[in-house]
Structure formats: structure tokens, C-alpha cells
Structure 1
Amino acid sequence: MITFEDFLKLDIRVGEIIEAEYFEKAKKPAYKLTIDFGEEIGIKKSSAQITSFYTENDLIGKQILAVVNFPKKNIAGFQSEVLVLGTYSEGGVVLVVPDKRIKNGDTLG
């Protein structure tokens, strides 16, 4: 079990997907995402296995939540810089999203 202090170590921010491209080299179906986290964090890249419920066009302009303070992960030659959050649901992954439009870079708290 983790402590509340462990949870506080996670830096979870709101970002807006500005580019989405199918990731041909990924072992499992995925997209390469470019995400704007605002002035403090900037633009980051991520690989996300969210193809079951979303097309590239669905994703552009969508605000999401992501962990921005994990180390980079090399996925099939692509540097994934943040972990986009979603739920493992029947049929695939569903993104965790704010229910109102807010400022990119806002912190989960």
C-alpha cells in the first residue's frame, strides 16, 4: 500500500492533444501523441494504446490528464515523455479527462 506522501510525488497535469498519429512500430495498436501542457511544462510526447475508442481526429484538441514526472520510456524507438491516464475498460482504454475546459498545465489535486 502507498502513503498519501507517495501519491503527492506524482505530478499529474492537464494537457491538450495537438497532434495524433498512428504508431506503426508499436507492438500493440497505439498513437504517438504531441501534448501541450502550457508554459511551465511545455510540449511533450507520449505513446498511448487508446485506438479502440478514439481516432486521430477525435483526439485533436482533447484535454487529458497525464503523469509528467516519470522518466522517459523508449517504445519502439520513440521517446514517450509522459504517461497519459486512462481506465482499462471493456473494449479498450478510455481516457481520463476533465469535465470542463481548463488551463493546460493545471495540476490534479
Structure 2
Amino acid sequence: MPVPREYPDGLRERAVREVQTSGRPIAQVARDLGMRKEALRQWVCQAEADQGDRPDLLTTAERAELAQLRKKIAELRWASEILKAASVFFAKELDQPCTRPTR
């Protein structure tokens, strides 16, 4: 279950827009809007990445894709472990001598 957001999306967008358009420092805008300055700094950085201004950071879409791929890798590793365990089990079964009754 996702963690509930501390600030509504509208406030986030307003705060980022205020920093980008006013030229005021992040700390001052955060103080005026009653939020943590580190949270606002992260939102501004993410907005800049999404706009293409920060090529060193992943965009929101890239972050979502990365999370999806990591989940898929975890599922594939889990399936691989199950298949390895099954192959060990069946290999042991094949190594057992045949116990058919002779006629």
C-alpha cells in the first residue's frame, strides 16, 4: 500500500511553480507555504528532470519503468529458484533405482 502523501498535489505544483517563476530561494518559498524545504527541493529537482533541464536525473516516467522492471526481475528470480528446486527434486527421483517387481 502506498504511503499517504503529506502535501496535496495542488500544493506541490503551486510550490514548484512559485520557485521556478519567482526566482526566490527554495527555503523562503517553503517557509511561506509551511512545508519542509527538503521536500520542496526534491520536487523542484524532479520537475526539472521531467522538463528535460536535468539530464543527470531520471524522469518520473523512467522511475516508474525502473520500478516495474525491478519488480519483474524479482518475479523472475523467484520463478528461477522454484525451477531450480524442482529440478533438484526430479533429479533425485531419477537417480533412485527402479523397484519394479521381477517376473
Query: TM-score if structure 1 supplies the norm length?
Result: 0.21
Is the radius of gyration larger for structure 1 or structure 2? 2
Q: Which has the higher contact order (CA 8 A, sep 6+)?
A: 1
Query: TM-score if structure 2 supplies the norm length?
Result: 0.22
Write 1 or 2 for the structure with the bigger share of helix.
2
Write 1 or 2 for the structure with the bigger share of strand.
1
